[in-house]
Structure 1
Amino acid sequence: MLYFQQNARTFGDSVALLSGNSTYTYSKLIDRSEQIAGALLLDQSDLDESPVAYMVEPGFAYVSSQWGIWLAGGIAVPVALAHPLDSIKYILQDTGAKTFICSASFTPLLSDYCQEAGVRLLIWEEMPQSDQTPLPEVHVDRGAMILYTSGTTSLPKGVLSTHHGIESQIKSLVEAWKYTANDHTLCLLPLHHIHGIINVISATLYVGGKVEFLPQFSPEEIFTRFKQGALNVFMAVPTIYFKLIAYLESLTDRERNELKTCMQAFRLMISGSAALPVSVMEKWEVLSGQRLLERYGMTEIGMAISNPYQGERRAGHVGMPLPNVQVRLVDEENGVVEGQPGEIQIKGPTVFKEYWGKVKASQEAFTEDGWFKTGDVAELADGYYRILGRNSTDIIKSGGYKLSALEIEEVLRTHPSVEDCSVVGLPDEEWGEIVAAAVVLKSHSSTDELNTFMRSKMPAYRVPRKYVFLSELPRNAMGKVTKNDLKVLFIS
């Protein structure tokens, strides 16, 4: 029996999910999951690691579909609700999925293509409500889930994790962040990314806690839920905190103080999936009384590094290795470095198995001795890791220097006219790359004013040589700035 099935039976009549105007117990959740597993199996005894795509509303439908696929022996492939048909086709063709579970609202988008492609389309609302089908024994080393990378530099790759890998990720977080059955968390993150799937839903349900769903982002609705007093854990991405801060600053002093009192009662608030600007962390702490816990992870490794639950949460740093995760920094020759920046490499049971159907890419992702090469560069000081950026997008090689785009962004954000910014490296014959900045202004400023300010804060070789002013920065579903899209704006 898989861990979530056993746990759900143990927690029984305790509330697992709150979605819409309904509550769902663990018993109801696992019963529905077993029904879905039966519908998937039909006359088979085991899906035997066949990929099954699903595109369903967040909440009861989502979790029961995921668990149902797992109970039938399949590999769960979550599809983003906002994906256009071409992106969905890519996932179905890449995984070879021949079964697709969807909410009824998505049938107009999917039905014609699925019929043409020979994909069995199951409508979640129409799946059987009874029938007890014998379920297969699923070994923990089997494939469990395929999540797709963002595909910012190439076509998205399917990241295959096993049941053992997923449970290892969950156990590591439960130990580090002290999840308990008293936890009640709000899920408003996309559920085709690891942040929402593992950190919010899976880890909370692992210990018998409650997950409440918010179908659409709304600062007003989020704070309404906060004021109800039941929530005690909140996880979001930096862009969400940025928007919540803007909303709080629009309120009266009395309203802000009322919400601050509510938020101070939370046991934990976390930021992840993109670098947390120090300015956002500091503003949030003033407005909420909560010191955000920043951590580091990615699709291939789950969460790997985290600021401590108890202890100093250091601004601008992602903390220390999580339980059962090994971390090292290496140079370009793959030699371990100390006292200087290096690429983060990760090893342990939380690391993914392989890129689906991509043998060469899977081999190239690991060192000969089994370390996963993240492509992210960090430095280590006093036991805390500090991310300097991604080798491909955030480390700018200019005139013999390796510059961190994230460090330059932090300084630029301190200018009183700058609301947000992103720094990239542009190709240059003389320098290799030059520093360029995309800026969102909250009040008028000029290139000359920004240059004067930056030259007073850092050496000239770090100061941006080009600027472009935007109304907003291009971002993906998890709030990460898509820097390759930015580079085009400077070249065009």
Structure 2
Amino acid sequence: MIKLIERAYNNKNRIAVKSEGYSYTYKTLLNKSESIAVELLAGKRDLNEQRITFLVNPSFQYVTIQWGIWRAGGIAVPLCIKHPLESIKYVLEDTDASILIYSKEYKDLIEPLFNNTNIRFIRAESFSNIFGLLPEVDIKRRAMIIYTSGTTGLPKGVVSTHKNIEAQISSLISFWGWNQSDHILNVLPMHHVHGIINVLSCALWSGACCEFLPKFNPEEIFKLFKKQEINVFMAVPTIYFKLIAYWNDLKKTEQEEIFLILKKFRLMVSGSAALPLSLHEQWEKISNHVLLERYGMTEMGMAISNPYNGKRRPGFIGQPLGNVSVRLVDENNNLVKVGEPGEIQVKGENVFNEYWNKPEATKEAFTLDGWFKTGDIAVLNNGSYKILGRNSVDIIKSGGYKISALEIEEVLRQHVNIKDCAVIGIPDEEWGEIIGVSLVLNTKEISIDNLKSWLIEKLPGYKIPKKYIIQTDLPRNTMGKVTKNELKKLFSVNIL
């Protein structure tokens, strides 16, 4: 049996999930996920790694569907609830999904797909309470595909086995001191490793409680904090920025009340993007916590973390987790000296299995001796790693998302009035980076508002550029490649 699910039998009467005003025990979670698994099997003995996509809000329903897919022997493919139909279609086609489970909120969005007879559509609310035999699922089986943007432009499906997931969870359980009495608030997207592994799966592995807040709202978050049940919180820098802004507008008596409550928390973590020093300092002021920064990727879960007990250094990501090997190398894969910058490479059971149906991309992601090439540059300083940046300017980190500039460029070039373009990340205190684009036009002018409306049909909101400039040509080097670092300098003037 999958160990994450097997452990739930030891905590049957404990609260596993709080969602939409209800509390659900581990026993309820086990029963409901079994019913879903039986219905997904539809008389078969085993789904044998069929790809099962699901489009549901972060909730108890989400967890039961995820576990139901796993218990039936399928591969869980969570879809982003903010993606347009085109992005959803891409995942369905890329994975050759056999089933799409959707909740009522998304019926209108996916209705155009209903004439696709290759896919079985199941309304999430329609699952009944039935029980039956389930297959034995080996931990070496593929368990999940999460889509991540890469330097090739189109999103790649990161395939993790149950063994990979167990390794990712167990390393964090040990390093961050997870225990049964923990109660975490989950405000993160549930198609990313941060929300799925670091928050939900670690809580359920520990016999703890995971509470969902499907839509971010600073006022609601502080209301939940005031109940004094939550003692662990994890978020991206953008969320901390908005919570600080809300706190600053409160009366002094309310600020003091919140400070005393937050001070009692066991752990607070920030990740998915670099945390500005100013946010570090402001959050410590309102909570008495030095946020724990860590480093990870969809391809490997977490690999490096500041200590749970011990000094945390703002701007540093810490030390390797247990059973995770890390090295820094130069462009020739030679180890660099301590204090010199190098690419982070990782090896361990936490590292993903493959990119779905992309053998060449998978091969390129690893060295000949099996190290995963992260593409991030870091330096080792007094025993802690510090991220210096990426070896590619084509990945933008904004609000916890890793966004491919090349993917956005490909979409923009489809517009009839755009001859060429280049997309970059612009440093921003709130978002980490915001997306900027330089446009070369086929016409004299363009309406930016109309362009944004056009993009909404093509891309999720977080991938739509916020800053625009118009140029007669893009800056290039002697090889004809756009010099994006030069382009960044132009965004201080002539921004539309």
* Contact 1:423 1:435 survives alignment (8 Å): no
Determine which structure has greater relative contact order: mean sequence separation of CA pairs < 8 Å that are 6+ residues apart, divided by chain length. 2
Partner of 1:356: 356
Q: Secondary structure at the match of 1:182?
A: coil
- Cα drift, residue 423 of structure 1: 10
Please give the alpha-carbon distance, in whole angstroms, between the structure 2 residues aligned to 1:12 and 1:44. 28
Q: Secondary structure at the match of 2:116?
A: helix
Partner of 2:43: 43
Q: Find out whether 1:4 has 2:28 as its counterpart.
A: no
- Cα drift, residue 60 of structure 1: 1.1
Please give the alpha-carbon distance, in whole angstroms, between the structure 2 residues aligned to 1:346 and 1:419. 27
- Cα drift, residue 466 of structure 1: 3.3
- Cα drift, residue 421 of structure 1: 6.4
Partner of 2:447: none
Partner of 2:398: none
Partner of 1:366: 366
Q: 1:261-281 CA distances to partner (integer Å, 9 max, x unpaired)?
A: 110010100000111111111
Partner of 1:449: none
Give 4+ residue runs of structure 1 displaced > 6 Å after superposition: 418-426
Partner of 1:295: 294
Q: Secondary structure at the match of 1:116?
A: coil
Partner of 2:144: 145
Taking the TM superposition and a 5 Å limit, the aligned residue runs for 1:128-277 are 128-130=128-130, 132-151=131-150, 154-277=153-276
Partner of 1:378: 378
Q: 1:233-282 CA distances to partner (integer Å, 9 max, x unpaired)?
A: 00000000011111111112221111111100101000001111111111
Q: Residue type of the partner of 1:108?
A: D
Q: Secondary structure at the match of 1:64?
A: helix
* Contact 1:187 1:200 survives alignment (8 Å): yes
Pick closer, same or farther for the CA change 1:38–1:434 going to 2, 3 Å. closer
Q: Secondary structure at the match of 1:270?
A: strand
Q: 1:353-392 CA distances to partner (integer Å, 9 max, x unpaired)?
A: 0000001111111001000000010011111000011111
- Cα drift, residue 5 of structure 1: 2.2
* Contact 2:238 2:432 survives alignment (8 Å): no
Please give the alpha-carbon distance, in whole angstroms, between the structure 1 residues aligned to 2:112 and 2:128. 23
Partner of 2:406: none
Partner of 2:59: 59
* Count of residues in Structure 1 that have an aligned counterpart in Structure 2: 430
Structure 2: stretches of 5+ with no match in the other structure: 396-423, 438-473
Pick closer, same or farther for the CA change 1:231–1:8 going to 2, 3 Å. same
Taking the TM superposition and a 5 Å limit, the aligned residue runs for 1:405-484 are 427-429=475-477, 433=483, 435=485, 465-468=489-492
Q: 1:434-475 CA distances to partner (integer Å, 9 max, x unpaired)?
A: 75697xxxxxxxxxxxxxxxxxxxxxxxxxx43437xxxxxx
* Contact 2:4 2:166 survives alignment (8 Å): no
Partner of 1:393: 393
* Contact 2:186 2:200 survives alignment (8 Å): yes
Partner of 2:413: none
* Contact 1:422 1:437 survives alignment (8 Å): no
Q: Residue type of the partner of 1:287?
A: I
Q: Secondary structure at the match of 1:377?
A: strand
RMSD: 2.6
* Contact 1:183 1:232 survives alignment (8 Å): yes
Q: In terms of mean alpha carbon deviation, does 105-114 or 44-53 score higher?
A: 105-114
Percent same amino acid at aligned positions?
51
Q: Secondary structure at the match of 1:215?
A: coil
Pick closer, same or farther for the CA change 1:428–1:188 going to 2, 3 Å. same
- Cα drift, residue 422 of structure 1: 6.3
Q: What TM-score, normalized by structure 1, do the two folds share?
A: 0.83
Pick closer, same or farther for the CA change 1:419–1:297 going to 2, 3 Å. closer
